Amino acid sequence: MSVIIDDALCIRHWDWSETSQTTVLFTKTNGIVRGLAKGAKRDKGKFSGGFDVLSRGDIGFILKRESELATLTEWDVRETFPKLRDNLQANRSGWYVADMIGRMLPTADPHPGLYTTTLEHLRVLQNGEAHNLSLLRFQWSLLEETGWRPELKDPDPQAQTLAFDPIEGRFTTDSGIPTHWRIRRGTMLALESLAPHKEPSTDDEGLNRANRLLASHLRNVLGEEPMTMAAVFGALPIGFQKPNRA
């Protein structure tokens, strides 16, 4: 069997034995790969001393039809993000990204665009920059590539207050329906600024509200609120209505 080489982010790992590890890797061209790295924790070997969550590297693996776990053959670390250990806010955002990728993506389903967006967000966190925009891009890309992206259609261009229908995944007029989430126009404008050839929003408050809206939408898709989500966004709008797929 031929060895596949890919660019990958480690999103989870645990010990298999004293010297080996099992991992969940988000690869650029092969999607989620679950694998076994025998001898990964040995000082000398082909695994750069083992796997760390949210480290990026070149991975070699062999897929086997009869096994859910790929055989990992090599791991060469190319990039780490030490800021995620030193800064609590960056740490929480990084863990949220890893957690959501693991929850939302099936095995062997490639998402190269999401992979690039994820790396961009991690690099923003590493550089200590304001990360509301990069986090919003990650969440939007995650929803878009999994078929849950909200419909961006303005129901009333003159209104300063709108509503979001969590069932239909779309914006609507603010008519006081109890199950709808009331939002400000700036929230929708922040999302609209993500479109190609548009100037990215610099309204940090609007970006923050848009991030919370997308997190709430993701929570409804999952049917539960992960601890990593609560750690980043705090209390979100009430309601766990299962949305319709876009």
47: confidence class by pLDDT, cuts 50, 70, 90: confident
Q: Inform me whether the pLDDT recorded for 240 exceeds 90.
A: no
| Whether 226 contacts 207, CB under 8 Å | no
Give residue 20's pLDDT: 83
- What whole-number distance in Å separates Cα of residue 116 and Cα of residue 141? 10
Domains observed in the chain:
4-79 (2.40.50.140), 81-246 (1.20.1440.120)
The token pair at 195 is 């479109």
Instruction: Find residue 70's DSSP bridge partners.
Output: 35
Section 204-216 average pLDDT: 96
Q: Inform me whether the pLDDT recorded for 17 exceeds 80.
A: yes
- What whole-number distance in Å separates Cα of residue 203 and Cα of residue 211? 12
- What whole-number distance in Å separates Cα of residue 26 and Cα of residue 196? 25
The mean of the pLDDT values for the chain is: 93
35: number of Cβ within 10 Å: 26
32: confidence class by pLDDT, cuts 50, 70, 90: very high
Residue-wise pLDDT tens digits, 104-145? 999 999 999 999 999 999 999 999 999 999 999 999 999 999
Give residue 154's pLDDT: 93
- What whole-number distance in Å separates Cα of residue 129 and Cα of residue 121? 10
- What whole-number distance in Å separates Cα of residue 154 and Cα of residue 156? 6
CA 123 to chain centroid, in Å, comes to 14
Provide the pairing of β-strand 31-37 with 70-79: parallel
Higher pLDDT, 49 or 151: 151
Higher pLDDT, 21 or 209: 209
Give residue 31's pLDDT: 97
